[in-house]
Each structure stands twice: as C-alpha cells, then as structure tokens.
Structure 1
Amino acid sequence: MNTTWESDEAPDPIKIGFVGWLLILLRGSALILLITVCLILLLFLRLIEIPFFGMKRPITPFIVQFVCRNAFRILGMEHRISGQLMTERGAVVANHTSWLDIFSLNARKRVYFVSKAEVAGWPGIGILAKATGTVFIERNPKKAKEQTEVFEARLKAGHKLLFFPEGTSTDGLRVLPFKTTLFEAFFSDHLRDFMHVQPVSVIYHAPKGQPARFYGWWGEMEFGEHLLKTLAARKQGSVELIYHTPVAVRDFPNRKALAAHCERAVREAHDAGQSEA
C-alpha cells in the first residue's frame, strides 16, 4: 500500500462548464447534507452500541449502507450487482479504482475497510473512516503480530474486512498484481480454520462520450479535482460489482496460492466486463 500507480499517459484534462458547476452545487450540497446528518446519527448510536455490544455493530452499518446507496442516487450513477454475498466469517478482496469503491462496496455489503494508517489523518476522510470502523494498518513489519491480532478480533466479532490487495488505485482499465503480504494474516492458527475470502470484481463504465478511464484515480491526481469532475458529469456512467464464490483459507497451502486464486477470479471477470463495454 505504499506505491502509487502511474500511467504511461497523462490524466485526461478536466473541463467544467456552467452546467457542470451547477451540478457540483446541487449534487455536492445533497451529498454533504446526507453525510452530515447520517454521521451525526451514527456517532450518537455508537454511544449506545459500545456499552451494550462492544466491538459488534448491529445498527450503525445500516446507516453507512443507506448513505452509500443514496450517494449513487444523488450522482445519478447506476449501481449493478451480480453474485451471492458471502455468509461465512472472513474477508473480501477487490480491485481498486478510486474513492468511489468505498461507496460501491458498502452499498450492498456491510464491510469494514482495511486502510493505510495515513488515511486516519486526512481531513474529512479520516473522520469518516474512523466513524465507520475502518481498520488502520502501518507499513511496519514489527507491527505484523499486533495487526494480525486486530484482524482476528474484528473477524471473530463477525466483521467482514475488505482489502485492496493491489495496494493502490488505478485507471480502472486493469487489475494490478495482488500483493500477498496481508494474506499471511489469514493463515494464523486462530483464523485459518474458519476464515473465508470472497473475491469481488469492481468494474466502472464511463459516461457516454467520456474516456473509458473516467472514474479512475491514480498517480498525483488531487482528490478534490477528481471529486469535482465526478460531480460535474452531466450524464453518469455505472459501476458493476461481481461477487465470486468464497473460498476457505484452509484449502490453500499458503498466502501466495490464495492471493493468486483471488487475483485470477477478479481479473478474469474485470477484463471480460471491460471488453463488453
């Protein structure tokens, strides 16, 4: 999670006309209102959840799901899903295109993201990540045991943890090789026997007339600029999520074999979806 993917081609120029700025005002205001009201409600309910349920969150994940589903309605962006959601305890792994993945993957399945520790300090985003139960990890081998214990506690509490094994977002036109480091935690003595992993392919289809990589966020792109570009689109595209068959960790000899299986499942469906666009 330490390398930002770079394209051989420069990002497409951002052009926002009068209509675009009007859409930014309308959609942005609606999103801010939605997120603010629901965040206040979520934080209030957490005060009730913590003393009665501890690490478990029986109520607040539904608020996160509500926000994410309605965010797509506000954007006017279609959200399509196929495949069955995993019922076993375990983790979800998916390819990573942009910040939109957070909304895309939370809209249907109640998950808790695993993110680099730096995100906790980002203005605005860090607060939202903390409030929604994101697990923050450090790129420090000395912290490996401690972080595995955190994963174990969250998984045993019934949380579905979501990883982006590519370690970075892309232009959405490809799936990068999966890094295997985080998969090692799944093979601990306390997790391996019950842990399952479900691969998910996330496929973005650009608005008509826009470059195929319209929703991609990579390299040195600023979050603010990418957000404005997305809000300003007169006609939005769509996002498609394909949930693959979950696999048991105990059926694989090591992290590399498990990572290779998940990468293959995600890439094959992603490439097929891109070719049909």
Structure 2
Amino acid sequence: MSTTWQGNDAPDPLRIGLRGWALVALRGPLLALLVLGGLLILLALRVIERPLFGMRRPVTPFITQFVCRNAFRIVGMGFRTSGTLMSEPGAVVANHSSWLDIFALNARKRIYFVSKAEVAAWPGIGWLARATGTVFIERDRRKAREQTKLFEERLKAGHKLLFFPEGTSTDGQRVLPFKTTLFAAFFTEELRAFMYVQPVSVVFHAPKGQPERFYGWWGEMDFGPHLLKTLAAWPQGSVELIYHIPVKVSDFADRKALAAHCETIVRQGHGQMRALEAQP
C-alpha cells in the first residue's frame, strides 16, 4: 500500500469478551496450522515443480487456494462469488478493504499479487508473499522497462496477475479513485495485443449487530488487533466477490481510459451489493 486512507472517523475500539477469547483460542491455532502446514507443503512441492516447469506453477497454486478457502471455514466467515472467471491471459483488478481480500481473491482464482517491493521485507507476510509467487515492483520510473519485462514473462507463463489500483485499503464502504500507474505497463507493444483485464468487486458484509465497516482495515490500524477481532467475532459476517466481464486492453486508447472503465465497473458492483444489503 502507498499512502494509507484515513477516513473521517477513528476505528472502533477493540472489545473481546470471554466468548470471543475462547473463539480466538480455538480458531487461532487451527488457522496457524493451516497456513504454516500449507506453506510447508507448497515449498516442498516447489522444489520439484521449479526444475520441471520453471516459472510455470501447475500444482502449487492449488495449495494456496485450498489454504485460503479453508481459512474462511475455520474463521466461520461466509464466502460466495458470482460471475465467470477470466480464461484469457491478463490481470485482475479489485477494490481493497482489508488483508482479508488476499484470502478471498486467492480462494476463488489462481492469481499472483502485484505488490510494492517493501512488502518482501515484512516479517511473516513477506515470506508468505514470496513463497506464493507475488510480483514485487518498485515505484521507480527508471525500472519501468525491467518491470514491464517481468510482467510479460509472468503473463506468458500463464499467470493471472492481481493488483489493487486504489493503492490502499479502506473501511470497505467505498471505492477510492483508481491510480493509473500500473495500467501503463499493459500498453506496451509486448502486452497490449493479447492482454485482458477483469474487474472484480469485493464486498464484505459485517456480522449481525456490528458496524458495517467491521472488516475494514485502514489508517493506523495494526494487523494483530484486527486479526484478533476477526477471530473473535460471533456470529461472523461474509465476503462476496463479483467477477465482471473482462475487457481487452487494445480496446482502450490509454491507461487512463482503461483505469476509468475498471473503476466504474468495480464501483457499480460494490454499490449495488451495498444497496441490497441496506434493504430491510
């Protein structure tokens, strides 16, 4: 993430009762076992997969999907999707509400996140990101050609790349304007002719009786307390993914036009789901 979205209101204070702590004690170890166990299996398979297939990963992404889908089962969150997954080569773009987006988007589709280079050095998260094939980029124009080449290699290997054009997570109640920077890489001669982009709307539905922004992660919120709050929730809410129709990059004049289209589609899908939720 770049500049963190702050919002107008401070995050809700952390309140975990006796039942909540009991759920943390139950769900936390199971979730840790799932994630770490999945990581160990993935790394072991990658030792065989790498020399045989190189950059292609025909097996290990299914481990990531299994872990992410079952993480929601352990936590007790509902998970549902609509729309058809893109079969064409290209990228997926989505709105960004929380670290939970990573689990949700990985649970439905074999994807590889595009993230800023600093994430690779984050304790724990950086290790997981590297193991699952995250594409790390530096926001330096001098390295634009090098990063475009990396995108081309990954796309031609059959990878679906995913990034959050908002550049930061929010409270989940809005879609921020899309930044156009990363869209520029898709308009090179090497990529434009065959590249598609699929917009996805990610909508979180809060647990009954909780604020609508319950799952949002923004401002100066720390990961640890947010994780505890999520594990302690009873009953849980749900997350919904809406996969919109993919568009061909060459159908757009430039990165700004493509980013504006994707933002409009994601915003409409997000708004429609929030409006349905608000109905009695």
- 1:229 pairs with 2:229: yes
Which stretch has the larger CA shift, 138-147 or 173-182?
A: 138-147
What does 1:183-222 correspond to in 2, within 5 Å?
A: 183-222=183-222
For residues 132 and 261 of structure 2, the distance between their equivalents in structure 1, rounded to whole angstroms, comes to: 29
Partner of 2:99: 99
Partner of 1:14: 14
Q: Describe the superposition over 1:145-194 as per-residue Cα deviations: whole angstroms up to 9, x where unpaired.
A: 11111111100100000010000000000000000000000001000000
For residues 134 and 141 of structure 1, the distance between their equivalents in structure 2, rounded to whole angstroms, comes to: 20
Q: Describe the superposition over 1:124-152 as per-residue Cα deviations: whole angstroms up to 9, x where unpaired.
A: 11110000000111121111111111111
Which stretch has the larger CA shift, 254-263 or 13-22?
A: 13-22
- 1:246 pairs with 2:246: yes
Percent identical residues: 72
For residues 66 and 134 of structure 1, the distance between their equivalents in structure 2, rounded to whole angstroms, comes to: 17
Partner of 1:180: 180
What does 1:78-89 correspond to in 2, within 5 Å?
A: 78-89=78-89
- Which amino acid letter does the alignment assign opposite residue 236 of structure 1? Q
Partner of 1:138: 138
For residues 157 and 12 of structure 1, the distance between their equivalents in structure 2, rounded to whole angstroms, comes to: 44
Q: Describe the superposition over 1:180-223 as per-residue Cα deviations: whole angstroms up to 9, x where unpaired.
A: 00000000100000000000000000000000000000000001
Partner of 1:2: 2
- Which amino acid letter does the alignment assign opposite residue 149 of structure 2? E
CA RMSD of aligned residues (A): 0.6
Q: Describe the superposition over 1:109-128 as per-residue Cα deviations: whole angstroms up to 9, x where unpaired.
A: 00000011111111111110
- Which amino acid letter does the alignment assign opposite residue 185 of structure 1? A
For residues 122 and 153 of structure 2, the distance between their equivalents in structure 1, rounded to whole angstroms, comes to: 26
For residues 2 and 98 of structure 2, the distance between their equivalents in structure 1, rounded to whole angstroms, comes to: 16
Look up the SS of the partner of 2:57 in the other structure: coil
- Which amino acid letter does the alignment assign opposite residue 223 of structure 1? F
For residues 228 and 116 of structure 1, the distance between their equivalents in structure 2, rounded to whole angstroms, comes to: 26
Runs (5+) with no aligned partner, structure 2: none
Q: Which runs of 4+ in 1 moved over 2 A?
A: none
TM-score by length of 1: 0.99
Partner of 2:65: 65
- Which amino acid letter does the alignment assign opposite residue 5 of structure 2? W
Look up the SS of the partner of 1:107 in the other structure: helix
For residues 134 and 25 of structure 1, the distance between their equivalents in structure 2, rounded to whole angstroms, comes to: 30
- Which amino acid letter does the alignment assign opposite residue 225 of structure 2? E
For residues 266 and 214 of structure 1, the distance between their equivalents in structure 2, rounded to whole angstroms, comes to: 21
For residues 171 and 191 of structure 1, the distance between their equivalents in structure 2, rounded to whole angstroms, comes to: 34
Partner of 1:109: 109
Partner of 2:276: 276
- Which amino acid letter does the alignment assign opposite residue 256 of structure 1? K
- 1:120 pairs with 2:103: no
Look up the SS of the partner of 1:28 in the other structure: helix
Look up the SS of the partner of 1:139 in the other structure: coil
For residues 30 and 13 of structure 1, the distance between their equivalents in structure 2, rounded to whole angstroms, comes to: 26
Q: Describe the superposition over 1:63-114 as per-residue Cα deviations: whole angstroms up to 9, x where unpaired.
A: 0000011001001110010000000000000000000001100111000000
Q: Describe the superposition over 1:222-255 as per-residue Cα deviations: whole angstroms up to 9, x where unpaired.
A: 0111111100101110101000000000000100
Partner of 1:261: 261
For residues 240 and 165 of structure 1, the distance between their equivalents in structure 2, rounded to whole angstroms, comes to: 19
Deviation at 1:272, TM superposition (A): 1.0
